[in-house]
Structure formats: structure tokens, C-alpha cells
Amino acid sequence: MLPVDSDPVLGEAAALRAETHRIRHAMAIDARAETRAEAHADAGTDVADGTARSHARDLALVSQRLSALIDDPAHRRVIDAALQSRAGSLRIAVAARRAEAESRRDRAGADAVVARAVRGGRELTGAESERVRELRARRPDDSWQSAIDSVERRDAVLEALGTLRIRDARRELREGLLQTEQMRGIISEAGPALRRGDPVLLVGETGGAKTALAEHLGRVVLGREPELISGYGDITSAQVVGTHELRAENGATVSVFTPGPLLRAMREGRPVILDEVNAMPPEFLKRLNRILQLRPGDTLNVQEDAGRPVSIAAGFAILATANEQTPHRYRGLDRLSAELVNRFGANAYRVHYPDTGCDYATFPAENGLLAVAAVADHHGALPEHLPPDALIRAARAAFVSQQVFAGEHGAGFSDYVSAEREIDGRPGLEESVIAPRTLVAILQKVAGSAGEIGLDRAFSRFVEGVMHREDRRVLALILEGQGFRIR
């Protein structure tokens, strides 16, 4: 992207270049769609041909205008100077990223030394301890900062680094988990426990990425695909552990024990996620007290299989998630007993909403990064119909709703809590919230509409679907406070 500054030539060149990318992108997508249609013998070939020709004409016209602009000697000098400046800023940004990557490798190296000792059930040697201290004490190389010789250069470098961070965040989000400071801290601390086979409990409000964090811990930290057991519905203890089934063998009907996801994970050495564990049946929670004490190398005698033993393979660990115990919220959940919670020991983590602890006037950086990561393309660019200002307002609205829902009555949030609820000590939102996953879904709906659906309409639809009357009023108040028109 050309640094447009205030020069109209650069602005026009950047706009034409962006339009060239859009047309080529549209041509590639439409060509793939046409190929699929031909494979299924669908109608519409004439329409597809017409669209392809239209794209080709548009591309030729835009390319012609861009060439004419560049071919002008005066314009060419301006563009060349801008490109050289841009290249210099990108070189500095690359050096900064390289220093950051080296710092991450140092931290990962230290974690790997600790993980090796944990897996072996031993203490670090003196040399290993020194190596870990050395790796963690290294500071990133900041020599690249000396190349920033002007405010303009600084701003260009920051813009380039911001784009790279957006691309990273987009990739992380599509892989399942945005790596905020809170998430990195939990991953780093929970990793050694999981490698020992200790259970981990993640507690928090709805939509706060507890399940996504559990999946990341299983897949990335333990390197195994986890078994997922959902606590919702009519799941029984037998479905979790295993049950007998009747099968026909050699002309006779026999009863065969089929292991459930918990036993499969034990035998195969994989983590198991007990999602919304406090919604699971009481009879299973009672047995879970015993199961949480087991570690790789131990044996479980399976009651459902006539007491036959199952040896627990290395790699098995339990990751449990639970919603907060809030009155009038999360119906159908049982309070986890103190005995059960104590089985997790020091490995119980509260997963807060992004930006928790900030006041109303502070920019919610984590919600903001989540918002842009949800809609940015692989270049880190945003859709034209979703400008940065709109995303900032959406992130602010989501942040306020999350804090009001969680009962964080900090500076600025009391405006959204009725006097009755404040007296009762109840949160300002009873059942509904623009949680991180809700924010992503709304923004992706708007981004995927090719400009047909705006944020006003999308947020109005969300509020309209809220069942709780007072929640609808508070959500509308929060969104209108950020400039959205809620109908």
C-alpha cells in the first residue's frame, strides 16, 4: 500500500491499486464458483461469462488509469519517492518483528526445558536452571529503533507493525483462539500441570472463550486432539464412560461394551474436555471426584465393564470448563462442590472477558483487536464498508456490555445499571451480552454481506432477538451511546 499522506496523486494511485486487487479477487472467486457450477451441470453459464467479461473490462480500465498516472514524469517522481520511503519503513518493521520473534523463541526455549523436566517427573539440573534464567532474562533487540529518524517514519513503522499484528490476530482467531495477554498467561502457567496429567478448571462468563482455550491447551500444549464432552442436554454417565450394546455375532446376539469418550481418551493418551462440567449429571460428578485423582500410569477399574481395568496412557489430562454461578443466570447448572473444585488444586483459572479492569474512558484494545481480526483479509486490510471508526465503536459497545453483564461496576458503568439492580447487587444485564464470540459473529455477518447489511441493522437484529425486556433496554442504551441507531 502506498503511503498516501495528503498528496492527491498518492491517494489516487492507492485507490486504483486497491480497486485492481478487488477486481482480481472477484475474478478468482467467480472463476472458482463457475468451475463448481460446471461440475454440477448447473445453469447460468451465460451469466458467468458476462460477469467474467465485465470484470475483465473493469480491470483493463483501472489498469489503464493507473498506468497513465504512473507514466506522467512528475507523478512518477512522487510515487517513486513514496515507495522508497515505504520500503525503508517496512525494513524497520521487519527488523522489529524479527527481534520480537527471537524473544518469543527464547521464551519457548525456556518453556521447553521446563516441559522436558516435567514430563520426566524430575527437577531441573543446575545447568538447566541457569539456561532457563538466561533465556527468560534476554531482552529483545531494540537496535531497529535508531533507524526511526522522523515522526513520519515512526508513524509509517507503527502502521506496518499494526498491519502485521492484525494479520497475526486474524490467523490466531481462525485457528481458534486470539492470543491476548490473559490467554498467554494461562497457557504458560497451565502447561506444566497438563503435561504432568493434572486436571485444569476454567471458570468464566458465557462467550469468554473458555472452550476455545481448553481446545488450544489440548492441541497445542499437549499436541493431541482432545475428546470433547458437552454437559448440555440429557447426557448420562454411561455415555461419558461407556455402555453395553447388543450386537449380532455368528448368528447370536451378544452384549459388547463400547467405551465412551472418557475411556477412549484414557486409553489413547489424549486430553478430554468436560465442557460446562456443572451441567453434567450429578451421578457423574460424584464419580468425577475419583477420576480427577488419576494420572497417566494409573489404572481405572470400569464399573460399567464388570470392573475391567483401563491403563491410563501418557498424554491424558482433564480440562473442565464451567460458567459462573450467578443467580437467575445459566439455568440447569449445579453448583460444583467444594470437594470437586479442590481436586483441581491450584489449577483453577478464571477466564475474564477482554479488557477487564479498564474503565469506560479507556480504549478496549483487546476487544478492538478482536473486532479487526474478525473482518480483516489476509493482507490485514479492512472492508471498505466497515471503517476503523465503526469497528472501534462496536468494540467499545461490546466491552461495556461485557463489564455490565459481569457486574464490574467501575467508572462509567453505573449509567447502565438500574437503581433496583444496583441496590440488589445484581449485574446490569441479566441474560444477554455482546460477548467476544457474539461480537465476532455480528461483524462477520456485516463483513460477509458485501455492504448490504450495516452495523446498525445487525445490532438492531441482535437486540430484537433478546428475550429479556430490561436487557433489551440496557443493550440499546449501550449501543446508542456508541452512536448506533437501534430500531
CATH at 209: 3.40.50.300
| Closest-CA residue to 317 (of 219, 204, 182) | 219
Boundary (domain end) residue, out of 351, 385, 403: 351
Phi, psi of 149 (to 5 degrees): -110, 5
Helix axes 73-119, 181-196, angle to 10 degrees: 30
Same structural domain for residues 165 and 209?
A: no
Q: Within a domain: residue 238?
A: yes
**AA identity, residue 321:** T
Q: Within a domain: residue 188?
A: no
Task: List, for residues 419-469, the tens digit of each pLDDT value.
Answer: 666 655 567 888 899 999 999 999 999 999 988 999 999 999 999 999 889
Same structural domain for residues 170 and 239?
A: no
Q: Within a domain: residue 37?
A: yes
Q: Within a domain: residue 226?
A: yes
pLDDT for 479 equals: 95
pLDDT for 48 equals: 63
| Closest-CA residue to 85 (of 159, 17, 12, 20) | 159
Alpha-carbon distances of 414 from 81, 134, 136, 359, 360, rounded to whole Å: 52, 47, 42, 11, 10
Same structural domain for residues 98 and 162?
A: yes
- Identify the DSSP state of 139: P
Its pTM stands at 0.79
Task: Return all residues near 252 (Cβ < 8 A) that are at least 6 apart.
Answer: none
Q: Find the domain containing 373 and state its range.
A: 365-481
Looking up cell 436487557 gives: 471
Torsion, Cα 332 333 337 338, to 10 degrees, reads -150
Same structural domain for residues 444 and 313?
A: no
Kindly give the pairing relationship between strand 308-311 and strand 299-302: antiparallel
Q: Within a domain: residue 111?
A: yes
Same structural domain for residues 167 and 227?
A: no
Same structural domain for residues 12 and 74?
A: yes
Boundary (domain end) residue, out of 307, 329, 351: 351
**Contact in structure between 183 and 353 (CB atoms under 8 Å):** no
The rounded distance, in Å, linking the Cα atoms of 315 and 196 is: 8
User: What are the cell numbers at 280?
Assistant: 453434567
Same structural domain for residues 211 and 138?
A: no
32-42 per-residue burial string, b: 16 or more CB within 10 A, e: under 16? eebeeeeeeee
User: What sign does the dihedral 94-98-104-105 (CA atoms) show?
Assistant: positive
Mean pLDDT of the chain: 86
Structural domain count, the chain:
3
Torsion, Cα 230 236 238 239, to 10 degrees, reads -40
Same structural domain for residues 344 and 215?
A: yes
Q: Within a domain: residue 180?
A: no
Q: Within a domain: residue 298?
A: yes
Same structural domain for residues 403 and 315?
A: no
Q: Which range, of 139-143, 205-209, 231-235, 277-281, averages the lowest pLDDT?
A: 231-235
Q: Within a domain: residue 216?
A: yes
pLDDT for 214 equals: 97
Position 368 pLDDT exceeds 90:
yes
Q: Which range, of 266-270, 411-415, 434-438, averages the lowest pLDDT?
A: 411-415
Boundary (domain end) residue, out of 312, 327, 351: 351
Position 355 pLDDT exceeds 60:
yes
The rounded distance, in Å, linking the Cα atoms of 343 and 371 is: 37
**Residues 448-452: contacts with CB under 8 Å, at least 24 apart:** 451/383, 451/384, 451/385
pLDDT grade for 247, boundaries at 50, 70 and 90: confident
Same structural domain for residues 18 and 115?
A: yes
pLDDT for 244 equals: 81
Same structural domain for residues 62 and 165?
A: yes
Taking residues 31-47, what's their average pLDDT?
64
**Contact in structure between 89 and 156 (CB atoms under 8 Å):** yes
Q: Is 282 exposed, middle or buried (0-12, 13-18, 19+ CB in 10 A)?
A: exposed
Same structural domain for residues 205 and 310?
A: yes
pLDDT for 202 equals: 96
